[in-house]
Amino acid sequence: MLLIKGGTVYAPNYVGKKDILIAGNQIEMIADEIPVPVGLEIEVIDAEDKLVVPGFIDSHVHVLGGGGEGGYKTRTPEIQLTDLTLGGITTVVGCLGTDGITRSMTSLVAKTRGLEEEGITAYCYTGSYDVPVKTLLDSPKEDLLMIDRIIGVGEIAISDHRSSQPTSQELKRVTADVRVGGILSGKAGVVSIHLGDGEGMLQPLFEIINTTEIPITQFIPTHINRSKKLLDASIEFGKRGGYLDLTTSSDPEHLEEDEVKASSGLKLLLDAGVEIECIGFSSDAQGSLPIFNKQKEFIGLGIGSAQSLYREVKDSVKKDGVPFEKALKVITENPARILKLKRKGMLQKGLDGDVVLLSKDSMEIDTVIAMGNIMVKNRTAIVRGTFE
């Protein structure tokens, strides 16, 4: 049992100074004051000088590693548990990217289960950049129905020179299949869409939305801050109720030409009239960040970081003036809702005991609790992955 006392709670909406009691893996009580139970084994955490917020959700992570655009040696390494927990992440969604050959669905599901065994909550998408989708079983629908950790399809690449150049009809069929799979399994059944820098931008998605009964909420287009042009083109999608995902992994000191930091992109979308509920952040952690010249030739490589997720939220507050409780929603309540993670994203009685404590002055991550277990304390990881 854990008792967090006297913290300033954002759930993610501001609720004031509260105590939070966690028993087992879930929140049992939130109140103005909870007396320390007598005769029970309980750890008390003094949160008087802390902000207490929900555990962070990272909805797009290459948990097996990614890349390979510069040859075999550029395949990036698998993620480690503390790469996530030191960034406040208590729930992660894994995916495959460009390479759906040497990174397989069997390995992705196994890695997902491994992260759960190590103490956090983990899900994954089925497929990769390619259409037809390479699934674990016979179809995306079957994967959603029969594999508990699979919640959608992705990341399917469009408007990118590395995509499989799927036709509109192919995209429609994939989306319809995964939508029905989601309905039958009670899962989100979303399609994670990788957007490249091609001229088509979001047009393939608009075509599906305009010519079928598939709702706009079936898609999660990501990397929309790849360029200011793409970000501007995404505004209509957001205003129509679509979910927009900004990627946080980038080198703030060396942004690509016309690339927009996620923190600044959040402010731009809000100023353009996109509702906060339609916006999310994800890190693209362990994904390669390849650099191509104008001839689409590979000339350099970076690697995504999970710890960029909260960094960009903090920057949006401190540098771009976004209210804290609004900024917090893009890595808590919003992804929980769009991914149908009903026990995640908020601090509320009966939900999972995923909590992050932030230093009130610096807003730095101090303590991370996942499923009722302390993973990070005093900015130090006290639970490490099996091979760390």
Q: Would you name the residues annotated as active-site residues?
A: 284
Tell me if 84 sits within 8 A of 306, measured CB to CB.
Answer: yes
- CA torsion angle for 274, 277, 278, 280 (degrees, to 10)? 120
Tell me if 310 sits within 8 A of 51, measured CB to CB.
Answer: no
Q: Which two tokens stand for residue 83?
A: 């790469």
User: How far is the C-alpha of 88 from the C-alpha of 306, rounded, in Å?
Assistant: 9
User: How far is the C-alpha of 160 from the C-alpha of 4, rounded, in Å?
Assistant: 47
- 3-state SS, the chain, equals CEEEEEEEEECCCEEEEEEEEEECCEEEEEECCCCCCCCCCCEEEECCCEEEEECEEEEEECCCCCECCCCHHHECCCCCHHHHHCCCEEEEEECCCCCCCCCCHHHHHHHHHHHHHHCCEEEEEECCCCCCCCCCCCCHHHHHHHCCCEEEEEEEEECCCCCCCCCHHHHHHHHHHHHHHHHHHCCCCEEEEEECCCCCCCHHHHHHHHHCCCCHHHEEEECHHHCHHHHHHHHHHHHCCCCEEEECCCCCCCCCCCCCCHHHHHHHHHHCCCCHHHEEEECCECCEEEEECCCCCEEEEEECCCCHHHHHHHHHHHCCCCCHHHHHHCCCHHHHHHCCCCCCCCCCCCCECCEEEEECCCCCEEEEEECCEEEEECCEECCCCCCC
